[in-house]
Each structure stands twice: as structure tokens, then as C-alpha cells.
A and B are shown apart, each in its own frame.
Chain A
Amino acid sequence: MSDTHAQTAAFVRDSMIQQQDPPVSQSGAVKWVRENLFSSWLNIILTLASLWFIWAALSHLLPWMLRGIWQADSLAQCRAIRDELYGPDVSAACWAVITERWNQLLFGFYPQDLYWRPVLAFVLFLVAIAPVLFQGLPKKMLGFSLLSPFVIFWLIWGGSIWGPVAIALGFVVGWAVTRYLTPVIGVLPGVIATILAPIVYWLLVAAPLAGLLQDILPLGITPVGSKDIGGFMLALVIGVSGIVLSLPLGILLALGRQSDMFLINKVSVTFIETIRGVPLIVWLFTASLLLNYFLPPGTNFDLMLRVIIMVTLFASAYIAEVVRGGLAALPKGQYEAAGALGLDYWNSMRLIILPQALKISIPGIVNTFIGLFKDTTLVMIIGMMDPLFLANAIRATTDWNGVYWELFVFIGLCFFVFCFSMGRYSLFLEKKLRREHR
């Protein structure tokens, strides 16, 4: 059979053809462009329309941004410089308003010589949340995270150091009761004592103790009132406190809504639906106008604290709904397995149910946090100095009357950075915690 070839085929190749490059249209950039931009008539139209849109937007925005004037004292001067450099009626941004007023947009009317305090507080805050956000860091840093709220509070508002110390001692009291008293008096009285002891301490002992310590050893820094705090600092203070406080409250509410106990269930449902049914603005007005009606005559506490409480309650109702979704998504077998292991309610929640439910609800929780942070701008409407309020105030001065877009761009970018990074972190966390089908 070996010689049949010789008769049937005139030519038999006995060497391999050299490997050749694919045709130009099937490789590299050309192929990518053909497949991703011009694969069909519809795609060609869409691509051209998008290119036109991008060109139209950038051709207006980029020259305006790049021609921007960074050094001037007022809008009039800005325009004079522009006329000199580019001629009249050329669009050019006046970034000078940012260079001139950035400190106000960031800190509000916080005393200028004390800017190091909020800056230090912000750095401490970053250090404190780092071990919470990223598992790779040493566990010991968590101790500092627990301490940081008091340090940050003291740095921002100033005043005597003994106030925050006295408040922090309340948690030490609670811890000491759990640690030393509970083995003696039993679990349930122990739990009740753990809750009651710090409350009694805060109500009765903390204030006199702080005063006494201040008399013995006066240690403190210049106090700064809440009304001087503004700009992004205000947004961060309200946003971060709301985020930190609303998560535990939201989880408790979600558990309450899942509870079999009739009363607990109905109270949670009523609370969640009432809060969610009414816009935040109405709640903020309630906080600023009506809260004094519901408190004992003569009490009057900080507007900022009221707003933080309202924002926390508002966000916790939304978080409760998100967590409820996570709880409902767990198969019933998980609850039964926890019961079969002999765990009681709180232990089965802590060890088995919540870790899984919270993992499912991460995207929703982070979205709620992003919403909360964006909603801090609403405090402008009840007269607090958030960035948008300050933008209006800056525009109201004679120097900067008529400046719009530069301020909007700056504020929008700052919010974008915070919210976008929160969203990215949520994606990162989801990926890290994904257990199935890797």
C-alpha cells in the first residue's frame, strides 16, 4: 500500500508549512474593533452615536477644565485673568474658588489653627477601621478600634479629656460585671446586671466623676461647638456615626421581625414600616422641630446629635429589611441544624445564622451605607453646614457670586470617591467570602 500514493497523488508534501500569522482582520486591534465596535449595523450606529456623544461632552468640558484659573481672589479677577490669557467669552473654569475656599468646604467654620485635630481624627479613623475591613492585619489593632470612637470624639469636639474617659469607663463597668459578677450570681441576673450597671453608671456617676477628675487634674484642649463643624467633616461625622450605629440596631430589628414572639414582631414591623414609609427629610424636620415636644420640658440637646440619632434610626430600618432578606434566604436546615447542635437562640444566631445571612446581605448593606452617606447632604435643608450649604454660602458672597460648576464638580467628586470606594470594597468582600464553585 505504501506505493499507492506515488500513483494517485501527483504531489505529496514532505515538509511542514511554516506557521503563519493570522490575517490582519482576525488578530490584534483590528479584530477587537471589528468584534466589539462594528459587528453589526446596529452596533455601528451605537458606536458612532457614543463617539459623537463623548466628543461633544469632552470638547465642551476638557478645554473649560484645562484652561482653569487656579489663583485669583474673586470671580471678577478670575474673569480678568481669563480675558487676558484667552480673550473674552472663552469658557474657562475658575478653580480659584476651590483653592481659596477648600478649607471651608472641608471643615466648615472649624477654627483654622485647630485643623490638625480633625485631620488627626480622620487618620485615626482610617487606622481604626483598617483591621475591621481587612483580615490580614494584626488582631491587636482591634483593641485600638474599640478605643478610637472616644479619642476621635475628644479630638473633634475638644474639651476636657475626662468626659470621654468617664463615658468609656461605663463599658469597662459592663465588661467587669460580665467577667466577675456573672459567675457568682448566675447567667440571667448577670445579663440584666450587665445591661443595667453601665446605664446606672452613666446616668448617676459619669458626669460627677468627670467633673471631679477635671478638678483634680485639669487636662483638656480647646472645645469646639457642633455649630462650627461643617463641610465634608460634617458629612463624615454624621455618615460614619450613622453607619457604625445603624448596623447593630438594624440586625436586632431584623431578628425582631423574624421573631415568633407576637409583641416583639409587631413592634419591629411597625417601627420598620413607619420609618421606611416616610422620607428622611420629614424625619429630619421632625428632629429639628418636634423632638423637643417629646422630651421632658427644658431638655435641649445638640442638633447634630438629634440628626445622628434620626439618621441612625432611618438607616437601621433599611438595614433591617436587607438583613431580613438574608435571613429568609437561608435554608431552613441551617436553623434546624443549629437547634440540633443544642445551641440556644443567641448562640445559634451568632455562630451559624448571622454569619451566613450577613454574607448574603453584604451588597444590600453597603448600598444602604452609600445611601446614608449621600443622604447626609439633606441636613442642609434644616440649616446645617454640609458641603452643599457651604457652596450656597460661598456663592452668596460678593467675591464669588455666580460660581456654580466648579463647586458642584468638587463636591460631586469628593462624594464620588467615598461612595465608589465603598461599592468597590463591597465587591471585594463578596469575592473574598464566596465559598462555592471557585
Chain B
Amino acid sequence: MATLTDPPEHGFRLGQLIYDTRYRSLTIQVVAMILLALMMSWLVSNTIQNLAALGKDINFGFLWQPSGYDINQRLISYDSQATHGRAAVVGILNTLLVALLGCILATILGVIAGVLRLSSNWIVSRLMAVYVEGFRNVPLLLWIILIFALLTESTPAPNAFRGDEPTSSMFLDAVAVTNRGVYIPALHFASPLSQNGAVTWGVILLVLALSIFAITRIKRWATATQEATGVRPATWHYTLGLLIVPVGALLVTMGAYLDLPALQGFNFAGGTHLRNSLIALWLALSLYTGAFIAEIVRGGILAISKGQSEAAFALGLRPSTTMNLVILPQALRVIIPPLISQYLNLTKNSSLAIAVGYMDARSTLGGITINQTGRELEGMLLLGLFYLVLSLIISAAMNIFNASVKLKER
């Protein structure tokens, strides 16, 4: 029996907007858009009214006015006559500096702790568990303040290094740990290529990059030879030579020497002064994030089934080759995405610098500049934008990486 029925013979009814699934999503979106537009216009009109009542406008001109405050930690030249814009750049560079240093140290700590936590050695794995749980379950702010207090309260004052029988001594006569910060040797050049430090260091880095490129070419040649003949030529002496000779030659021609810190008057002079605020922030961020990375690394290694390494051993691969060619490529796929989001967290957490007085982007652009100019709306907007752009760049890089290592199936 045919049960076909014609569709109902009537035109469009208003009820279809709600009950017909073809139109419903459109209706909901239109309603949502109207609500959103109403809310936005409400917020904007409030803001305009409030600004008018305070006699303010939205104006970013303050970025070109002289700042009038000093920043003790800076990577580019800056003084109190420079503009607020330059102060913001100094702060942003400081944020990036501590984030970069933190990411490097956190990765090292995290990988070591993650691998050791899987160790068959009972005491080591327990110790690492204590480290991970201890840092993960206590607020980062407490760690920052605690490490800062440790650095300022438990280290000797510069005058403890004075006299014939000082109570404190420098490490190898080169590193002095004092309650005013750590003094380390600085690399100086007698006849630099350029008076601009950035150019000199850029050239050194360029030479280093070229050496590394040459080394990869040699590795590739060695692999090709191995595939053709079955014997891998020894390359370590080329590698070592390429790594040391060009940079070494460059440093010697520029007359590089180490400027050691030395006690002069009431304080150390010479060398590079690492402030306690930087060190405390750096150590706290690294130790805290390292604990999270340790868990990620552990999870990544555990995620690779045991059959993979057994299969590799059955093929006759050595443990080191198994690790490099079988386990790591698979574990990295699991490890890298959460690792990058930890880097992102570390960068955002570096805004806690305020607790120890490290001059990061939040302290300059979002702190003193706002206080001095009264431009809190603009300042916070720019600050938020900086962090947002930074996060979006890192997430975009992560998405590209994820797509490239995704399992290609079906």
C-alpha cells in the first residue's frame, strides 16, 4: 500500500520559524545577534557616557610623551626622557626575555623530572613525585615570593666578600651571589665589528647559524654515503671543527675578553648584574612549569605502547636507536601540543612579575604608564592586545605543527 502523502499545501507560516528545523537555527542566530548588538551598544554607550562625565577621551598620544620614570632592567637603551612607547617596548622585551629563559629551563627540568619519575629507581621516582606534586599544588605567586625572599634574605651582602678572610667567596672568582643579585662575567670585545652591540651579536649568531647549517649538510652527506655503501663515514671531527673554529676565529679577531665582576667600594662592578627579581621570577616560573612539563613528558612516554619498543628490539635496533627512531617520534606527537600550551601559560604567568618588581610589560605599560597618564582604558587595551597577539601567534604555530604530525589514516 502506498503511503506517500503530499507535503502539506500551505504557504509559509510564522510558526515555521520556530518549529521547522530548516529555519530554526536561522531564527536563533538572528535573535542572538540582536541580543549581542543590544549588549554591545549598551556597553559602548555606557563607556562614552562615563568618559564624557570624566572629561576623558580615547587617545593614544600618550605613547609619544616622555615617560619620566626609570627602568632598572632593560635590554635596549632607555632613560627617563624616553617616551612611554619606548618604556612599553622595554617592558615587552623584558617579558619575552623571562619567558624565553623560563621556557628553556622549564623544558630541561621537566624532561629530566618526567623521565626520572618513570625510573625503576624507587627513591628517585619518589623524589620526582614529591617535586611535581609540591610545585603543582602550591600557588605560583607563593613560589615567586618565596624564592625572591630566599635570594634576598639568605644570601650574603656584598661586604661579606670584603677583607682578608671574607665570610663569603666568589665561585671560581667569576660568579658572586649576593643579596643584591648575581654577578656573572660579561663577554666584551676590544675591537668590535660595530659600536652597536646588536650588530656584533647578530654577526656572531649568523656565523653560528651558518656552521650549524653546514653540519646538517655533512650529516646528510654521511647518511647518503651510508645508504650507498653501507658504511657511515666518521663525521664528528668535522662537526666539532665547524662548531668551534669559525666562531672562535671571529671572537679572537674581535678581541673578546671576559669582564669579571670585582668588589669595588660597597658593591660589585663589572660583569653582568642579574637582578634578584629576574632570577626569582625565572627560577619560580621554570620550577613551576617544569613540574607540569614533567607530567606531560611522563604521559607522552607512557602513551607509547610497550609493543613498540619490543618490536624495535625484535628488529635488532639498539636502545638508543629505538629511542630516536621509534619511541620519540611517536611520543613527541603526544607531548608537543600540551608542551606549547605550557609555554603559553608560562608567558602569561610572567605577568606575576609585579610581585617582585620585575619591570615586564604589565609593570611598565599596564602599571606606571597608566598611573602617570591616567589612560587606563588605552593602556589595558594595548596590554591585552600584546598578550592576545602573542598567544594567537603561538597557537597558530601549534596548529600548523599539529596538522603536520597528525596521524595520516584513511
A interface list, Cβ under 8 A from B: 35-37, 39, 43, 46-47, 50-51, 53-54, 188, 260-264, 267, 273-274, 276-282, 285-286, 289-290, 292-297, 370, 374-375, 377-378, 380-381, 388, 404-405, 408, 411-412, 415-416, 419-420, 423
Contacts and interface: CB of A to CB of B under 8 A. Distances in A.
B169 interface: no
A264 B142 contact: no
Interface in B368-393: 370, 376-377, 380, 383-384, 387-388, 390-392
A51 B390 CA distance: 43
22 contacts: A37-B121, A43-B119, A46-B121, A50-B121, A50-B127, A188-B19, A261-B25, A264-B29, A279-B348, A281-B351, A281-B362, A290-B376, A293-B46, A296-B49, A370-B137, A374-B138, A375-B139, A388-B141, A404-B153, A408-B142, A419-B136, A423-B137
B369 to A, nearest CB: 13
A285 B352 CA distance: 12
A383 to B, nearest CB: 12
Interface of B: 18-19, 25, 28-29, 32-33, 36, 43, 46-47, 49-51, 53, 116, 119-124, 127, 133-134, 136-142, 145-146, 149, 153, 348-349, 351-352, 354-355, 362, 366, 370, 376-377, 380, 383-384, 387-388, 390-392, 395
B29 A261 contact: yes
B388 A278 contact: yes
- Which applies to chain B's interface (DSSP): helix, strand, loop or mixed? helix
B349 A279 contact: yes
Contacts of B370: 289
A385 to B, nearest CB: 14
A53 B18 contact: no
A47 B124 contact: yes
Given A39-B121, A267-B32, 5 more contacts: A43-B119, A43-B120, A293-B47, A297-B46, A377-B141
A296 B47 CA distance: 8
Given A282-B387, A290-B376, A404-B153, A378 B142 contact: no
Contact of B352 (A36, A46, A378, A405): A378
A274 B384 CA distance: 9
Contacts of A261: 25, 28-29, 32
Contacts of B116: 46
Given A295-B46, A297-B53, A419-B137, A281 B354 contact: yes
B25 to A, nearest CB: 5
A416 to B, nearest CB: 5
A174 to B, nearest CB: 19
Contacts of A54: 123, 127
Contacts of A285: 366, 380
A392 B40 CA distance: 41
Nearest to A276: B391
Contacts of B136: 370, 419, 423
B133 A420 contact: yes
Contact of B121 (A47, A297, A388, A411): A47
A419 B146 CA distance: 19
Contacts of A43: 119-121
B242 to A, nearest CB: 32
Contacts of B134: 416
Given A37-B121, A37-B122, A282-B366, A377 B50 contact: no
A289 B380 contact: yes
A297 B46 CA distance: 7
